[in-house]
Amino acid sequence: MPKVLVLPGDGIGVEVTDVSLDILKILDEKHNIGFEFEIELFGGSSIDAHGVPITKEVLEKAEASDAVLMGAVGGPKWENLEHSKKPESGLLALRKELDAFANLRPAVVYPALADASTLKREVVEGTDIMVVRELTGGIYFGTPRGIEKLPDGGEKGFNTLVYTTGEIERIARVAFGIARKRRNKVTSIDKANVLEVMQLWRTVVTRVRDAEYPDVELEHLYVDNAAMQLIRRPRSFDVMLAGNMFGDIISDEAAQLTGSLGMLPSASIGAGAIYEPVHGSAPDIAGQDLANPIASLLTCAMMLKYSFDMGAASNDIENAVKSVLEKGYRTADIYQEGTKRVGCREMGNLIARALRE
């Protein structure tokens, strides 16, 4: 029985997670899954109730569950608290507790929304990319780091880009494993022409592929070239694998191809798995039934596929979303002239109906 800890969080996190739970319950019946859901406070709502963004009990429940489904955290009410008490620090604590070292960020351009992209339809249509980003190592965590005074009165700022064989192997395995569930191709991004650490990256990625995933196609690109090819030939990519900093940049560039924050799911996996939409709590539209629930629904589709190996149920969500978009229904964030504008709840109901059809 899949155990899912649900953390709706704050703002629109609550609204979109509500819709997602309804959809998961429909799938539960349809596919006879037997989900066990537990819903807990997280972020600002937990600060209000318990004084901390995530309690020890909730962290323990997260560890004991098969997956965590998150909404979003944060909002103006908690913005001025000291760093460790802010809603976002609860998210960092959760990622650390579950040793979430792999961040998965898909970028899919739906035919019905191709015109919402800043690139031409003929370039982006059919794009379906999964960026696999290493999340707990690399230059964001490497030491030594700091800013030091120099004898000449100036200062020196420095960081360290470091990866070990073990860190590269485990993220490479995630990327190759995902490629096998998709179109069987990995593009590994590095800067092996300039950085020794990236030479090691390329060598280790190649070795893992040759030894364990010989059936998966592997392409290597320097990060500067990858950034160009991503807007020139986005359709040619399947899984893009990168370290922390390059993955941070490339995943946002890939997201931009799709046009809207309200459509973007993500997952962070390691010892445990956290599924969350890319967007935040959107205080500007919270409580007004304006949020797009699709990012959260596609996040559920990822959970079904990657944590529970339920490809059919996952495809059900993706197909229902596609069919509702093709019928011309849009939330405000993706609205275009000539389409039918609906709220968060109504979008959820339409997708539920499409699922039942």
Q: Catalytic residue numbers?
A: 140, 191, 224, 248, 252
User: What mask, x for binding ligand NAD by CB under 6 A, covers residues 68 to 107?
Assistant: ----xxxx------------x--x----------------
Query: Whose Cβ is closer to ligand NAD: residue 10's or residue 167's?
Result: 10
Binders of ligand NAD among residues 264 to 303 (CB under 6 A) are 276, 279-285, 291-292, 295
Number of separate helices (H) and strands (E) present in the chain: 12, 14
Structure tokens given for 89: 């620090």
CA distance 236 to 238: 7
Alpha-helical (H) ranges within the chain are 12-30, 44-50, 56-64, 87-97, 121-124, 165-180, 196-212, 223-232, 244-258, 294-306, 311-326, 344-356
CA distance 231 to 281: 29
Could you give the C-alpha distances from 218 to 48, 50, 202, 205, 212, in angstroms and in order?
A: 49, 48, 11, 9, 12
Structure tokens given for 154: 């100036």
Task: Tell me how crowded residue 249 is: count the other CB atoms within 10 A of its CB.
Answer: 15
Binders of ligand NAD among residues 183 to 212 (CB under 6 A) are none
To ligand NAD, the closest distance from the beta carbon of 278 in angstroms equals: 7
Query: Whose Cβ is closer to ligand NAD: residue 223's or residue 291's?
Result: 291
Binders of ligand NAD among residues 236 to 265 (CB under 6 A) are 261-262
CA distance 72 to 90: 11
To ligand NAD, the closest distance from the beta carbon of 101 in angstroms equals: 17
Query: Whose Cβ is closer to ligand NAD: residue 65's or residue 103's?
Result: 103
To ligand NAD, the closest distance from the beta carbon of 339 in angstroms equals: 15
Binders of ligand NAD among residues 44 to 73 (CB under 6 A) are 72-73
Any idea what DSSP says for residue 337?
T
Query: Whose Cβ is closer to ligand NAD: residue 142's or residue 283's?
Result: 283
* CB 256 within 8 Å of CB 112: no
Structure tokens given for 197: 């650490």
To ligand NAD, the closest distance from the beta carbon of 50 in angstroms equals: 18
To ligand NAD, the closest distance from the beta carbon of 313 in angstroms equals: 22
Angle between helices 12-30 and 311-326 (to 10 degrees): 120
Q: How far is CA 178 from the centre of its chain?
A: 14
Could you give the C-alpha distances from 139 to 91, 142, 219, 266, in angstroms and in order?
A: 20, 5, 23, 22
Structure tokens given for 196: 């020794």
Query: Whose Cβ is closer to ligand NAD: residue 45's or residue 281's?
Result: 281
To ligand NAD, the closest distance from the beta carbon of 71 in angstroms equals: 7
Q: For CA atoms 302, 23, 30, 38, give the dihedral sign.
A: positive
To ligand NAD, the closest distance from the beta carbon of 284 in angstroms equals: 5
Reported as type and span, the H/E element at residue 38 is strand 36-39
Count residues near ligand NAD (CB under 6 A).
21
Q: Which residues are near ligand NAD by CB under 6 A? A: 12, 72-75, 88, 91, 261-262, 276, 279-285, 291-292, 295, 333
